[in-house]
Amino acid sequence: MLKRFARSGLNWPVPVEMSDADLESCLYGLPGVKPGRRKQPEPDWSAVVCELKRKHVTLQVLWEEYIGAHPDGYRYSRWCDLFRRWEGRLPLTMRQHHAGGEKMFVDYAGDTVPVVVDRRTGEVRDAHLFVAVLGGSSLSFACATWTERFADWIEAHNSAFAFFGGVAHLLVPDNAK
């Protein structure tokens, strides 16, 4: 108590007009505020996780919204570090072990990409991006097809097999209809 009193800058005897609450805040600091805590406002990290599940949302986009609302807030690298630390405290839900050559994950990657078919006329068509990834090594393959129909799906698989130099034991499609 003597050390706290010395750090508070108060003189003995304590002024009579000082209330108990004022004396307590001088000795112990503000209630609910821990020393050494972060001074900048932090976002609701669970809301950040929910937003990241939406299409085209990245940490960069969410940080730009945060910094727009809090100009004196954390810079991008610190903001990402705080998010990763918060995320690291979440319980792991599932770990997967992939043996080399065992599984190949295949899917079309979301949105289409515009492709210039004829530079003279400026004709542009949308292409669908096929992606294949080997589970053990994360070696990736991608190619564009005009549609997601069965013939293009099979041709994209054949191209992936040729690229990888073999066939995996198991093909794992994501929500193939």
Cα gap 114→104, rounded to integer Å: 27
pLDDT at residue 60 tops 80? yes
- Supply the pLDDT for residue 55: 85
pLDDT at 176: 57
Contacts (Cβ under 8 Å, ≥6 apart) of 87: 45, 49
d(CA 135, CA 138): 5
- Distance of alpha carbon 124 from alpha carbon 131, whole angstroms: 22
Domain map (residue ranges) of the chain: 1-33, 45-88, 103-173
Q: Which residues contact 35 (CB under 8 A, 6 or more apart)?
A: 29
* Predicted confidence band of residue 101 (pLDDT cuts 50, 70, 90): confident
Whether the Cβ atoms of residue 132 and residue 160 lie closer than 8 Å to each other:
yes
H or E, element range at 103: strand 103-108
What's the confidence (pLDDT) of residue 90? Answer: 81
Q: What is the pTM of this model?
A: 0.51
Higher pLDDT: 20 or 32? It is 20
The mean pLDDT value for 100-122 works out to 87
Q: What are the structure tokens assigned to 67, written together? A: 């910094």
Confidence of residue 118 (pLDDT cuts 50, 70, 90): confident
Query: pLDDT for 120-134, tens place per residue?
Result: 888 899 999 999 999
pLDDT in tens, 142-170: 999 999 999 999 999 999 999 999 999 89
Closest CA to 174 of 125, 108, 118: 108
| Residues 131/156, Cβ–Cβ less than 8 Å | no
Q: How far is CA 81 from CA 22, 38, 59, 100, 102, in A?
A: 37, 13, 11, 32, 34
pLDDT above 70 coverage of the chain, percent: 93
* pLDDT tens by residue, 42-51: 888 888 988 9
Buried b (16+ CB within 10 A) or exposed e, 142-151: ebbbeeeeee
